Chain A
């Protein structure tokens, strides 16, 4: 009885909500705050997340990722697959069928030529396009007819949803950007600040690094959307005050990327004006254990250089040491202290999507200091006179570095304490993020150069397919002076068996088999203890209680479904 009553109320409420959405622009203004302000509306000229997300209100890709990481059609009728003939049987091409009747915000029709042009725009050698990796392996993009786009790959591509999938690879209007190819790209300021799009909103005023004013797109393909007539997209300040403006003062409806101390966030949420939403993608805070010798006494040609395996680290190549270091860590406590509900304990470097997530390493979730000591004892590492364990004259003494960030320094301090208890000497170091991640080959402090024994940071991959990400740890990806320290195999892990798995995945189309391969690769890296995963990190945002329809995702732009957002009482 009571339940049916409640259900009835829920139905009435839902009807009320949908009635409020019946008309475009009926819900007035939506105020969004991003504490990092977007500098342009053209995501091809800036790879930053803030620009990509701001642009996603205007520019759209052919397909998006939903809140669970599934790819869903957006401007196309259905998702091309091998079964429905959209993907060629030999996996060398994919054909997208555009929905008929889609218009740009200026009223002209959206055609396959726009997609072809976008490919030319982004792959122009002088353009410096930030998203050109989405067109890797693409030999050409063709307009078969006005509504059919065919993307042709050089080699069979088992996961073909790269170009035009996700907010980082949207479609530009050919007519607007025709004169902006290559070196001329930055000169088209008007187009870059006010791109014509197919999305629910149109830019009316763009102030770089400050504020964007948008209004509903009169030619949006769904007549009753968006519910909001205008959007004010403010940038600047810091994460804490952005959270405050939604959760405490209620001036804004949505705030993005609130990486602040968990207890402060909980306190603000208690004010009752809004709620915090978290979404987990693939970001993992992890420790990289240098597999090469980083001794400061070595020359530049040797220090942290792989040299075909002839320069191994004195003790971190021993998996038993890595195992003990991992067992000594109380990941639950790290989450509690530094992340709150925005973090989860993880034992995998590839924690999601579910298909690819291994369960083989879950033992790491509980701390086992005594067990860790036993592992080291058994491996012959015994405490010396000063309490630091040693074996054959080698002391377990590590330099542990990361970027400057209060949460990271807190994590460092805790881990140092546990390792000290284990009998490992730890020296901590933190480096300014712009230098650490800066990639300057001349700087000794970059994460690529890795002039330390252990370093900690977060990495992830965009989209939902881990193939390219797992290929990061091939032998050929090891950074060194020969490649200007470029390369993604930061911990210098090299195993021919691993490379073989990478090659196999590149040839496999079957999703279940791909899942098995990815898990096998993940387990190989984890069980060799070249990477110690710590925390699966989520994206955190907050929205006002009066804002409905938010489906927070970390797989795509958080604003991916802004057309469905609406006001609720």
Chain B
């Protein structure tokens, strides 16, 4: 298993390099201009100077090489310096990946956005799973009961109603009419005591629930299908024949076996958390990674978009590996060596 993981990791390096190059080429070929969003009152000569100052006058391969050096060497070195307090080489003049729009290091921007994205989108994923698994289990165990019918309706609705609709609906009901929750997420809020914690909960409820309903509807269907498969198996009949309590049959034997494919689905969905939720973040102004990406795209901030998409690519490759390894752990019959 360990050598398998190492081999997969080694394979990931060239894959990721190729991905980074493809992202760079696509972004370079796309019609975008970092000065396009500026007011028309700024004359073209000034626009050209801005583009030159950003390094856009250099040919594409040189810009790609520079990005590689900055991202794969300068940024990690900088990170090590920050953690350890050492000084490695000439840290003053080391070029980091600089966002064109904010003129600040991209990695710092990402680090700043990480907490709210992990809190809101991550929490919604956890809540989604917590809702989905019981629904899936009960729906399968009592197939075609009223609960199952309701669960099907719930997941169909959750899956097909877009988050920009549920988000707005929540705001109109809970912020405008009932005035229970704030419609704008305050990213400067710090949790220091119970009151501020309660405020944090209140401002998180709406975005978390909008996303959780969406996630739950997907996962509950997987859970139900997988449970139904296993309930038909011979080992379930054997377990019952041995006189095991129905509770033990269901929650120990069937549930564990049914979790194998569901865990894979859950693991493969984790990179999406880091990708943020572009629409939901916009609606509630959570301003996490999703909003960072969309703002970067709108203003043609290529270093930012390139770095973010590449980090997503790394996470996807990584969590594919995690899913495969988890498979082996959950199901002892699967061995890769």
Interface residues of A, Cβ cutoff 8 Å to B = 33, 37, 39-40, 42, 45-49, 125-133, 183, 185-187, 189, 192-193, 205, 207-211, 213, 232, 234-238, 241, 244-245, 248-249, 251-252, 433-435, 437-440, 442-443, 459-462, 486-488
Contact = CB atoms under 8 A, between A and B. Distances in A.
B196 interface: no
Interface in B71-94: none
Nearest to A439: B33
Interface in B194-224: none
Interface in B26-45: 31-33, 35-45
B184 A434 contact: no
A209 B285 CA distance: 11
A33 B36 contact: no
Contact of A241 (B98, B105, B283, B300): B283
B292 interface: yes
B50 to A, nearest CB: 4
A130 B38 contact: yes
B229 interface: no
Interface string B301-333: 000000000000000000000000000000000
A39 B292 CA distance: 11
Contact of A236 (B42, B49, B282): B282
B42 A439 contact: no
A40 B100 CA distance: 11
B33 A251 contact: no
B247 interface: no
A48 B33 contact: no
Interface stretch (B2-10, B174-182, B238-246, B262-270): B174-182
A244 B102 contact: no
Contacts of B112: 207-208, 210
Question: Can you list the 4 inter-chain pairs with the closest CB atoms, starting with the nearest?
Answer: A128-B53, A186-B103, A438-B36, A208-B102
Contacts of A45: 103
Contacts of A249: 175-176, 179, 182-183
B32 A438 contact: yes
B58 interface: no
A252 B184 contact: yes
B47 interface: yes
A209 B291 contact: yes
Interface residues of B, number: 54
B52 A128 contact: yes
B39 A186 contact: no
Nearest to B282: A237
A127 B103 contact: no
Contact of A186 (B31, B49, B98, B182): B98
Given A213-B188, A443-B31, A46 B101 contact: yes
Question: Which one of B35, B47, B287 has the greatest number of beta carbons of chain A within 10 Å?
Answer: B287
Contacts of A232: 186, 188
B68 interface: no
Contacts of B15: none
A189 B38 contact: no
Question: Which one of A209, A251, A462 has the greatest number of beta carbons of chain B within 10 Å?
Answer: A209
Contacts of B113: 210
A235 B281 CA distance: 12
Interface of B: 31-33, 35-54, 98-99, 101-105, 108-109, 112-113, 171, 175-176, 179, 182-184, 186-188, 282-283, 285, 287, 291-292, 295, 298-300
Contacts of B31: 434-435, 438, 440, 442-443
A211 B287 CA distance: 9
Nearest to B33: A438
Q: Interface on chain A toward B: helix, strand, loop, or mixed SS?
A: loop
Nearest to B40: A459
Given A133-B46, A192-B104, A210 B37 contact: no
Contacts of A192: 103-104
27 contacts: A33-B184, A39-B102, A46-B101, A48-B39, A126-B53, A131-B46, A189-B105, A207-B188, A208-B101, A209-B102, A236-B287, A237-B184, A238-B282, A241-B171, A245-B184, A249-B175, A249-B182, A251-B182, A251-B183, A434-B32, A434-B33, A434-B300, A435-B31, A439-B36, A440-B33, A442-B31, A486-B45
Question: Which one of B39, B99, B182 has the greatest number of beta carbons of chain A within 10 Å?
Answer: B39
A133 B33 contact: no
A526 B175 CA distance: 49
A49 B39 CA distance: 7
Contact of B42 (A126, A127, A130, A211): A130
Contacts of A460: 40-41
Contacts of A132: 46, 49
A40 B103 contact: yes
B187 A210 contact: yes
Nearest to A268: B176
A440 B39 CA distance: 16
Contacts of B188: 205, 207, 211, 213, 232
Contacts of B50: 47, 128, 130
Contact of B184 (A128, A251, A488): A251
B117 to A, nearest CB: 12
Contacts of A133: 42-43, 46
Contacts of B38: 46-48, 130
A203 to B, nearest CB: 12
Contacts of B32: 434, 438, 440
Contacts of B103: 40, 42, 45-46, 185-186, 189, 192
A183 B300 CA distance: 20
A45 B112 CA distance: 21
A556 B250 CA distance: 69
A207 B41 CA distance: 27
Contacts of A33: 184
Contacts of B291: 209-210, 236
A127 B49 CA distance: 8
A47 B101 CA distance: 10
Contact of A47 (B39, B48, B292): B39
Given A129-B49, A208-B112, 5 more contacts: A33-B184, A130-B42, A132-B49, A209-B295, A434-B300
Contacts of A207: 112, 187-188, 287
